[in-house]
Structure 1
């Protein structure tokens, strides 16, 4: 009579035991599913067999397990520094300490931390200040170094939380690691992406992210492999206004093997733009772009490398903001990016794009303005107007009236620097020979030598400072000699009345 209830009790105990044993398996499966769902960009690359070897972001973790700092800032008031980190491991940035730290002063981003185990951190680029780097272009910092980005200048949100990007607007803003560890070199395959924006771009060289030369110099074709984002059509003949995602492979920003963009893609724009480049080192490089807030990727080019770029000769240096030779006129915005070992699959890149969209970038509302005006300059040295007679005669303050030779188009860029194009010959004014020779209007387009700062003096006059050598333009010999950028202090010879027409 008691055998059946006993059997039932035993059966109940057995079922309960089986359920107890089964619960951890169900929990593990749930945990694994959740972990897979929270994989970040570099976890996805690793799963695809092309791991990140350098990864940077000012907005979030690029590994689900990363809990370290994102970047370092320095404030101008006392030189103090602080690392900006995450709200939690694998999460988004905690920018509140930055806001408090920078209150009432200016802060600069001085270092971007690599989230991989390689510790390929990127400090401000040395420019020409490093040993063996004299073949590159000067930055505006000490001894030709570059400068850091304003830490508070590019506010956005990510996942609904406040964050700040890297704003490459001021000339010479750049970061670089010239001794990167475990990165692809030579003709080894390499991939990369970055999150940027078309809110700020330029048609000059070069807003880059990726591999560059270790000596901040142009070492020839194929010695760098970086994403370029902008509208500089290096070879001419591009279709549309741009900007486009390209590959800066040195001595050219390439939107295809012939350099030009596809005729059916006249621009690649968005509040947030994901930019992609991969290069197998010998036979193929591929370019893609996407909306950083929605959708998938578009392949703009996939095919042969340009002539003269097979094989690649990449060096172990990672850079952001400038060209391989430290060309400093590129402009852009950076929020995150990574370099990978190997040639990532399309499926991997699509999965990373989905992760970018899921991150929830929004509210990139910072605006930038460029302007053009028609001006003349009257020298305080002798009361005469600056004259640019032709493309073989230097500028000199010797005119008593204003005509075409004394009239210039003044282009004011987003960072406040200016360029001058003479009405006499439609050429740009240059501080010739890196400023060691007189100013002359003989250039077909702007570059570092054609870039000037416009300084406003207390008496209402202005002074021009050449970007290339950071010296002031003077009406030499009280105006009797040509204008030249060779002064370090403002006096009457360096003062001009700016007359707007």
Structure 2
């Protein structure tokens, strides 16, 4: 089932464009490139993540006739064209079937179910949450149990083995649960729990995997397979804090051999909080990443089971290399400037 996406894209219309050279105001993937850690996957239903991106952001399918429509941006580097979705879906319901990769690597995410990536899940409803960014109406990807997205990026630039990588996502602290696992990041290509270090993904939710947590979350943690890590061990990290904000920035970076860092912030204002910056947990050195990308579920979902988590995805990217703190800060500053409301 690994080659389903090409057919899905042809059925839905033109394939998303590649990322052109950056324009005057750098967006997240422009900042990552300037820092020497280019995006290898970039996804969003709300806006472009490159300042001159003109391609499609996502695909919707309507129930009335099963027709597909790609939703692009209003202008280069701009917000999504929600009016195109509203017009196409008028009088019926739509679901989001594909999130296009803006990086040019072709790492498009499709829902984990029949007709998508294969598996047992179904696509998320397309209009569960409307919001604004850059002053324009857009829609989120609102994931509930039985919704999730996946792609095998092992041959299309996603870091593997002990190669360093970083990632971020903008999510919500008001639409969470403790089900396993609302993740975005690197996962197994066989969709099985293949051992410690086979995953390297951001987790956001209220799951206290190892016990001993302080408070009720939701927390930014690292899903490294065989556990959701709040810091460098299974013990509770006292620097952890909850992010119940409406919009939340979550970041993870991992050099693959000795060190990883977790950061979080209100996505509407303020700077990043470093929750952990130190040694990898015992047994995770070196990492053994496989290069698939998962969104909305854990790594051993959903070829033969269904997703149990819920969460909201607005935007996110994965990069090759270990981003600097300055790059992290530039990305957060741009997210705040985008004006999620």
TM-score, normalised to structure 2, is 0.89
Per-residue deviation, residues 268-311 of structure 1 (Å, max 9, x unmatched): 22110000000000111100001111111000111111111111
Tell me, in whole angstroms, the C-alpha distance in 1 between the residues paired with 2:329 and 2:118: 43
- 1:90 equivalenced with 2:69 (yes/no): no
Q: Which residue of 1 aligns with 2:204?
A: 229
Q: Which residue of 2 aligns with 1:262?
A: 237
Tell me, in whole angstroms, the C-alpha distance in 2 between the residues paired with 1:179 and 1:284: 23
Tell me, in whole angstroms, the C-alpha distance in 2 between the residues paired with 1:64 and 1:263: 38
Question: Displacement of 1:178 after TM fit?
Answer: 1.5
- Cα RMSD, aligned residues only: 1.8
Structure 1 unpaired stretches of 5+: 1-33, 131-140, 363-501
Larger RCO (alpha carbons 8 Å, 6+ apart): 2
Q: Which residue of 2 aligns with 1:351?
A: 330
Q: Which residue of 2 aligns with 1:60?
A: 47
SS of 2:84's equivalent in the other structure is helix
Question: Displacement of 1:92 after TM fit?
Answer: 0.8
Q: Which residue of 1 aligns with 2:271?
A: 296
Q: Which residue of 2 aligns with 1:404?
A: none
Which one of 60, 66, 74 corresponds to residue 61 of structure 2? 74
Per-residue deviation, residues 232-287 of structure 1 (Å, max 9, x unmatched): 11111111111100100001011111234433544122110000000000111100
> Is contact 1:239–1:262 with CA below 8 Å preserved after alignment?
no
Distance 1:274 1:104, change over 3 A: same
Per-residue deviation, residues 331-364 of structure 1 (Å, max 9, x unmatched): 10000000000000000000000010111110xx
- 1:361 equivalenced with 2:340 (yes/no): yes
SS of 1:99's equivalent in the other structure is helix
Tell me, in whole angstroms, the C-alpha distance in 2 between the residues paired with 1:204 and 1:67: 36
Question: Displacement of 1:62 after TM fit?
Answer: 0.4
Question: Higher helix share goes to which structure?
Answer: 1
Q: Which residue of 1 aligns with 2:88?
A: 101
Q: How does 1:213-228 map to 2 (within 5 A)?
A: 213-228=188-203
> Is contact 1:233–1:259 with CA below 8 Å preserved after alignment?
no
Distance 1:107 1:262, change over 3 A: same
Q: Which residue of 2 aligns with 1:322?
A: 297
Tell me, in whole angstroms, the C-alpha distance in 1 between the residues paired with 2:265 and 2:173: 12
Tell me, in whole angstroms, the C-alpha distance in 2 between the residues paired with 1:122 and 1:283: 30
- 1:249 equivalenced with 2:224 (yes/no): yes
Q: How does 1:272-311 map to 2 (within 5 A)?
A: 272-311=247-286
Tell me, in whole angstroms, the C-alpha distance in 1 between the residues paired with 2:240 and 2:318: 26
Q: Which residue of 2 aligns with 1:113?
A: 100
> Is contact 1:172–1:322 with CA below 8 Å preserved after alignment?
no
> Is contact 1:175–1:321 with CA below 8 Å preserved after alignment?
yes
Q: Which residue of 2 aligns with 1:390?
A: none
TM-score, normalised to structure 1, is 0.61
Tell me, in whole angstroms, the C-alpha distance in 2 between the residues paired with 1:343 and 1:320: 21
Distance 1:66 1:222, change over 3 A: same
Distance 1:149 1:99, change over 3 A: same
Question: Displacement of 1:324 after TM fit?
Answer: 0.2
Structure 2 unpaired stretches of 5+: 1-21
